[in-house]
Amino acid sequence: MNGLDVQTLQRRLAAFAAARDWEQYHTPKNLAAALSVEASELVEIFQWLTPEQSARVMEEPETAHRVADEVADVLAYLLQFCEVLGIDALAALAEKIDRNEARFPVPKPPEPHDRHSSE
């Protein structure tokens, strides 16, 4: 890992916005909209690619850079959104995984049936 954590990144994003007097624009509504726009920009990169092409998107340096930039934009807006609303993103994710594990248990393998058994 590179020594970064969510709280450090959130503080950096908040400081960046504060230095430019942008906090006034960082309402939950605006941040949700910005998050949606950035996610759409990520989707745009993949829009007309085949599944095979999309799996290899990181092999081309220019495209890989665009993908990484859009991922960073999505994450930045998501972290700012969580900061404004007081959501612990990692705790929210862990709780969601817990709920999904309960909702969607691992299927049990079928019982083997031996047609030649005498039982």
Q: What pLDDT shows up at residue 111?
A: 84
Q: Which of 41, 39, 46 is nearest to 75 (CA)?
A: 39
Q: What pLDDT shows up at residue 99?
A: 98
Window from 2-11, 27-36, 37-46 with minimum mean pLDDT: 2-11
Residue 119's pLDDT band, with cuts at 50, 70 and 90, is low
Q: ∠ CA(12), CA(71), CA(88), 5° rounding?
A: 55
Q: Which residues contact 78 (CB under 8 A, 6 or more apart)?
A: 35, 89
pLDDT at residue 71 tops 70:
yes
pLDDT at residue 42 tops 60:
yes
Q: Which of 91, 94, 77, 99 is nearest to 29 (CA)?
A: 77
Q: What pLDDT shows up at residue 69?
A: 98
pTM, 2 dp: 0.84
